[in-house]
Structure 1
């Protein structure tokens, strides 16, 4: 005899449909976990290294071009290019380049905050008008100015390391 006679025939007692084999039960939770891991990684494992980019030979001394390197396990994952003039007390951010993987982790905000703390008393402004950096600069309350305005100690020099568009 088969065991079919003991099973209910009503639709009220049927088992729930099986989930597709590739779907996760809490799929959104995994995305939040990844984002949280990336944010923790950005705050724990990223080192900030400041480098001075030497000027052209024979160029008048003035504000130097500098670069803040964001390093994760011997790999550069971001760069902040800036000029600093201590005589004027001004700093100009000329380039922000951070890997796409770290853009939503809070690393750009942390890097600009690091510049503020590394150079206290400096008034910051930016020459960047790209969409990706506009919101970051607005959040950090850094005003945007045109690229041709420089401090009185040297004319504005374009950043030779940044691509021109």
Structure 2
């Protein structure tokens, strides 16, 4: 037997060791996860820069790529096409690293595109669930992949999605 039956029921004789909680209780683990998630979100908003570039090889006059750069490393890309003549823009690909996925970086990138090109009406050819949800939140309507601009810029199939 453990000897618990011979102990007094009075609080004077109990040791304080039984009343102290372990140093890493379950609720502290949740707090650490929330803190880690908050630090990643702050890092995504503070440390990620946006750089616009033409796709190498210049596939067309309206094909561009918005690079999401974190400390000299590309952590995401948004591929899009613009026709300034008709004021139409098509998002053909969104690719963001897993580490930055649920931190609002996709919203920030699409908001940056809208701010950079305020007169452009945006639509998208992406159909994957994650990008479809992002575009629905940003109120960017879906468009068929084979719709062509009247000025000759044909939209292509999605480049990358994530």
Q: Unpaired segments of 5 or more residues in structure 2?
A: 1-5
Aligned residue number for residue 158 of structure 1: 156
C-alpha displacement at 1:63, in angstroms?
Answer: 4.8
Would you say 1:16 and 2:19 are equivalent positions? yes
Does structure 1 retain, via aligned residues, the 8 Å contact 2:75–2:97?
Answer: yes
1:3 maps to none
* Distance in structure 1 (CA, Å) of the matches to 2:117 and 2:36: 33
Q: TM-score, normalised by structure 2?
A: 0.83
**Cα distance per residue 1:74-125 (max 9 Å; x no partner):** 0000000000000010000000000011011100000000000000110000
SS in structure 2 of the partner of residue 36 of structure 1 = helix
Cα distance in 1 between the residues matched to 2:157 and 2:49: 23
Segments of structure 1 that go 5 or more residues without pairing to the other structure are 1-6, 57-61
Map of 1:149 onto structure 2: 147
- Paired residues, what number? 152
Task: Check the 8 A contact 1:92/1:125 in 2, yes or no.
Answer: yes
1:102 aligns to what? 100
SS at 1:26 equivalent: helix
| Root-mean-square deviation over aligned CA pairs | 2.7
Query: 2:49 maps to which residue?
Result: 47
Shift, 1:142, TM fit: 0.1
Give the Cα separation in 2 of the matches to 1:84 and 1:155. Answer: 8
Q: TM-score, normalised by structure 1?
A: 0.81
- Report if the CA contact (8 A) 1:51-1:66 is conserved: yes
- In the alignment, which residue of structure 1 is the partner of 2:79? 81
